[in-house]
Amino acid sequence: MATAMAPRPLKLCCFRQVQHTRYRPALVPCGGTLPYLKHRFRVSCSGGEKWESSEVLVERSATGSLQSIDELEKGEMEEGERWWLKGLPQRYKLIGATSLAFVICNMDKVNLSVAIIPMSHQFGWNSSTAGLVQSSFFWGYALSQLPGGWLAKIFGGRKVLEVGVLTWSLATAVVPMAAGFMPGLVLSRVLVGIGEGVSPSAATDLIARSIPLEERSRAVAIVFGGLSVGSVLGLLLAPTIIQNYGWESVFYVFGLVGIIWCLIFEIVKEGQSLVNIEELFNINGNVSSKESLDTSLEAIGSSLKEVPWKAFFKSKAVWAMIYAHFCGSWGHYTCLSWLPTFFSEELNLNLTEAAWVSILPSLGSIIITSIAAPFADNLISNGVETTKVRKICQTIAFLSPATFMALSSLDLGLPPWEIVAFLTSGLALSSFALSGLYCTHQDISREYASILLGITNTVGAIPGILGVALTGYLLDSTHSWSLSLFAPSIFFYLTGTVIWLLFASSEPQTFTD
């Protein structure tokens, strides 16, 4: 009978700087031992003048030795882990939980686009006021992008995501109490925007640190595809809830869902036996807690200075991402906010029917995403240049909605349901961006991916502020959906395509000021 081999020990030589994907750096001295853990670490070890880097997983076994990263990918169930997590590799748990958070994210984003109709009737709002209320979300969303990227880099995406979900869920629940007082209503939606604004950077940090290149398109598609699922669920559930229990109830229910997610996420983290990184600082008494804590606080204080801001803005590829994000967001946010009203007025549908028709683009996006992500990953796996793949996907994402919006805007005598089909097709195909633009941040820099997304998403939030409000103003002024909703989006889609094809790149870049 063969004797089972002991787990491969992890040798700790010299001083190693251990960067947990969720916490701050720590120094692990020679001969040190680690508490019971099962986590991924980034380890840098100095050997003379040569620096070597590798990724390892450490876990104290029953024999006291340390197991390697290979054990994690086998999906072994550790003691105390819940049965529904059995056999799942760590990265799949993180991606699944993050995707679910994004489902809730868009549920809380689209609920107002449905509730705004009865709210406008109750409070006597015109289109301009309704546009102002809806755009207030994006004020907070824009403000939180860069802080979200920085916080994700320092504390890790998991913690930032959890705080973000809790913030926007509580803010959603207070909307009915603030609705009669415009400043209070605007503030509550700003807080929803702040909570949701840190989430893309948190997710990008998780993906960049946890997912290999050949799986990245699918990981991004699963996580950000949760937004489409959230739009579908939100637009399906909101009208029924509103018609049966009043518009106030949708905010209470959706806010509660987010709070429940936070509680479940805590259970998942318990099953992973998370240990605060400060526990790693005092190893065998060789490094004092005070010295380690001082070092960590100093690292946090200097972290903003270490970000190569100048180098970012000298890169043509970064500017291409910034403009592409702005262009894609203009079409996405204006349609997300105004399509229920457009369908209600143009097709003479009631609240439930208009909301259900509005889910068609999101349903189409789910289907397209399931095609686009494997398509992009397979091209990369077969040796096609990553930059070429990203350009192909993003071009499809821009030209498709531009073409179908143009057909919908022209006076071709099309019946309303053909216009619905055109818009559904165009907006669904825009989901190719998840395998284009949204992968490029991780492609060019894993280290700064969350901050880069914070930069582009800050600019990408501007259409939510200006575009949504401007659409309402133009609609009051021109009474034309073609001029107010579609024409600006077509312009940005076309110019975004040109800039992307000329300057976009997925080549890894070393950013140094």
Residue 78 — very low, low, confident or very high, per pLDDT cuts 50/70/90? very low
Shortest CA distance to 421 belongs to which of 341, 339, 361?
Answer: 361
Q: How far apart are CA 171 and CA 252, in angstroms?
A: 10
Q: How far apart are CA 276 and CA 495, in angstroms?
A: 47
pLDDT tens, residue by residue, 262-295: 988 776 543 333 333 333 333 334 444 444 444 4
Task: Count CB neighbours of 452 within 10 A.
Answer: 27
Residue 191 — very low, low, confident or very high, per pLDDT cuts 50/70/90? very high
Q: Is 258 left (phi over 0), alpha (psi -120 to 50) or beta?
A: alpha
Q: How far apart are CA 191 and CA 485, in angstroms?
A: 26
- Top pLDDT among 49 and 314 is at 314
Pairing of strands 25-28, 39-47: unpaired
CB contact at 8 A, 154 and 19: no
Residue 7 — very low, low, confident or very high, per pLDDT cuts 50/70/90? very low
Listed range (38-42, 486-490, 499-503) with the worst mean pLDDT: 38-42
Q: Is the pLDDT of residue 15 over 60?
A: no
pLDDT tens, residue by residue, 328-383: 999 988 987 888 788 878 777 777 777 778 788 888 888 998 899 899 989 999 99
Q: Is the pLDDT of residue 82 over 80?
A: no
Shortest CA distance to 110 belongs to which of 423, 355, 367, 421?
Answer: 355
CB contact at 8 A, 303 and 150: yes
pLDDT > 90 in the chain, percent: 33
Residue 358's alpha-carbon distances to 422, 475, 490, in angstroms, are: 13, 19, 19
pLDDT tens, residue by residue, 19-77: 333 333 333 433 333 433 333 343 333 333 333 333 333 333 333 333 333 343 444 44
**pLDDT recorded at residue 490:** 96
Residue 117 identity (one-letter amino acid): I
pLDDT tens, residue by residue, 405-455: 999 888 777 787 888 899 999 999 999 998 999 999 989 988 888 789 889
**pLDDT recorded at residue 431:** 92
Shortest CA distance to 130 belongs to which of 473, 453, 420, 503?
Answer: 473
Residue 491 — very low, low, confident or very high, per pLDDT cuts 50/70/90? very high
Q: How far apart are CA 491 and CA 513, in angstroms?
A: 35
- Top pLDDT among 25 and 472 is at 472
Listed in sequence order, the DSSP H helices in 246-315 are 247-271, 278-281, 289-306, 309-314
pLDDT tens, residue by residue, 219-271: 888 888 888 889 889 888 998 899 899 999 999 999 999 999 998 877 654 33
Structure-derived torsion over alpha carbons of residues 354, 360, 366, 370, reported in degrees to the nearest 10? 180
**∠ at Cα 315 (311, 320), nearest 5°?**
140
Residue 297 — very low, low, confident or very high, per pLDDT cuts 50/70/90? very low
Q: What 3-state DSSP class applies to 57?
A: strand
Report helix angle 145-155 to 449-460, nearest 10: 170
**pLDDT recorded at residue 298:** 53
Q: What is the 3-state secondary structure (H, E, C) of 75-143?
A: CCCCCCCCHHHCCCCHHHHHHHHHHHHHHHHHHHHHHHHHHHHHHHHHHCCCHHHHHHHHHHHHHHHHH
Q: How far apart are CA 164 and CA 109, in angstroms?
A: 14
Burial of 214 (0-12, 13-18, 19+ CB in 10 A): exposed
Listed range (72-86, 406-420, 497-511) with the worst mean pLDDT: 72-86
CB contact at 8 A, 105 and 226: yes
Mean pLDDT for the stretch of residues 186-199: 93
Q: Is the pLDDT of residue 173 over 90?
A: yes
pLDDT tens, residue by residue, 209-219: 777 777 778 88
Q: How far apart are CA 85 and CA 408, in angstroms?
A: 47
Non-local (6+) Cβ contacts of 187 within 8 A are 178
Q: How far apart are CA 128 and CA 365, in angstroms?
A: 29
The pLDDT mean for the chain works out to: 77
